[in-house]
């Protein structure tokens, strides 16, 4: 397909997205400040103006600086922004960290959004799921289905790369922002999710970014073990004797007893490899979520 044809297809999908949101009359966008929810928020603002609101859930699972970044981005988009406190840490089904942890997190978020929507008469809940998300293990999509949350990007057949292209078209500064899932996604399944462990992960990732490693995951495993994931191209710099010794010392100060480097490099969602295959099958899932 030629560049012109690609652009025409993207323009058609953009118009379809705006038309779909306009037909909803009033929407509340689950707004993390990442590129997916930013594109939905921008489209909702263009389609609905004051009848759209962006809603960000705040809890210890949110990485430092992400709330402030979301607030700034909402201001740039021009959409009304609400911040709600979520209490997933009061739910044992969340903190015990089974493979369906994300379901309980999203269930809590959508329940609280529904209360806000009911109070503000704001209508339909929408999220930033795109077509690529339908191919991964995402138990949060089950929560979306149970709460009648719409996924405008997926409904319009928009994939991740097209989301980034739309963000660039609308001059959104997050168009090339790496994925930033919640800190709990770094904790190996079966290890309890606690605010202290998430704070350790957050501090460790900030430390690594401070040393110039912008794409990074610090995975928490049993025994306070940190498994570092960085792109393969960053290995040589990370393994310089002065730097890795310094990082090892600083990671121990944070609270990790062991620090390892994953030789497969950075992989988004790598802990899903530990999920039993039968849980990842789409059987019984409504792929229209």
- Give CA–CA dist 269/14, Å, rounded: 28
DSSP string, 161-230: HHHHHHHHHTT-TTTTPPP---GGGGBPTTSPP-HHHHHHHHHHHHHHHHTT--S-EEEEETTTEEEEE-
Q: Given this model, what pLDDT does residue 138 score?
A: 79
Dihedral sign, Cα of residue 111, residue 274, residue 288, residue 8: positive
The pLDDT of 182-196, averaged and rounded, is 96
Residue 8 has a pLDDT of 84
Chain centroid, CA 46 distance in Å: 23
Average pLDDT, the chain: 90
**Distance separating alpha carbons of residues 130 and 136, to the nearest angstrom:** 11
Strand partners, 81: 54
What pLDDT is attached to residue 271? 65
Domain boundaries in the chain?
A: 3-169, 183-267
CB 179 within 8 Å of CB 52: no
Backbone region of residue 255 per phi and psi (left: phi > 0; alpha: psi in -120 to 50; beta: other values): left
Question: What is d(CA 281, CA 249) in angstroms, rounded to the nearest whole number?
Answer: 42
Single out the residue of 128, 134, 130 nearest to residue 109, CA to CA. 128
Please, which residues bridge with residue 83 across strands?
A: 56
In this structure, the strands spanning 217-221 and 225-229 are antiparallel
Phi-psi region of 190 (alpha: psi -120 to 50; beta: other; left: phi over 0): left
The tens digit of pLDDT for each residue in 251-268 reads: 999 999 999 999 999 977
Give the total residue count for the chain: 289
To the question of domain 3-169 being in CATH 1.10.10.10, the answer is: no
Reported confidence tier of residue 280, pLDDT bands at 50, 70, 90:
very low
Work out the percent of the chain whose per-residue pLDDT is above 90.
Answer: 80
Residue found under tokens 């121990």: 252
* Span of 22-26, 69-73, 74-78 with lowest mean pLDDT: 22-26
d(Cα 260, Cα 241) in Å, to the nearest integer? 15
pLDDT in tens, 106-158: 999 999 999 998 876 668 999 999 999 887 677 889 999 999 999 999 999 99
Q: Which fold has domain 183-267?
A: 3.30.1340
pLDDT value of residue 286: 31
For the whole model, what pTM was predicted? 0.88
Q: Spell out the residues 6+ positions from residue 249 whose beta carbon is closer than 8 angstroms to its own.
A: none
């Amino acid at each position: 397909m030629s560049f012109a044809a690609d652009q025409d297809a993207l323009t058609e999908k953009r118009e379809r997205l705006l038309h779909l949101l306009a037909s909803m009359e009033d929407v509340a966008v689950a707004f993390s400040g990442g590129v997916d929810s930013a594109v939905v928020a921008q489209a909702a603002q263009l389609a609905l103006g004051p009848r759209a609101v962006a809603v960000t859930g705040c809890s210890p699972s949110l990485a430092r600086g992400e709330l402030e970044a979301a607030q700034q981005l909402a201001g740039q988009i021009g959409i009304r922004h609400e911040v709600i406190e979520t209490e997933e840490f009061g739910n044992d089904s969340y903190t015990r960290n089974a493979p369906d942890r994300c379901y309980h997190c999203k269930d809590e978020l959508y329940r609280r959004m529904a209360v806000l929507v009911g109070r503000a008469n704001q209508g339909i809940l929408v999220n930033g799921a795109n077509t690529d998300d339908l191919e991964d293990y995402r138990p949060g999509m089950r929560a979306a289905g149970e709460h009648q949350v719409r996924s405008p990007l997926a409904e319009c057949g928009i994939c991740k790369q097209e989301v980034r292209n739309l963000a660039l078209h609308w001059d959104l500064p997050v168009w090339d922002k790496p994925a930033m899932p919640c800190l709990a996604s770094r904790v190996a399944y079966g290890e309890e999710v606690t605010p202290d462990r998430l704070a350790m992960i957050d501090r460790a990732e900030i430390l690594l970014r401070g040393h110039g490693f912008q794409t990074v995951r610090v995975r928490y495993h049993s025994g306070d073990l940190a498994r570092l994931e960085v792109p393969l191209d960053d290995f040589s710099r990370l393994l310089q004797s002065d730097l890795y010794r310094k990082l090892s010392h600083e990671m121990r100060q944070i609270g990790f007893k062991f620090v390892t480097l994953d030789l497969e490099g950075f992989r988004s969602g790598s802990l899903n490899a530990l999920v039993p295959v039968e849980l990842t099958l789409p059987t019984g899932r409504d792929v229209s979520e």
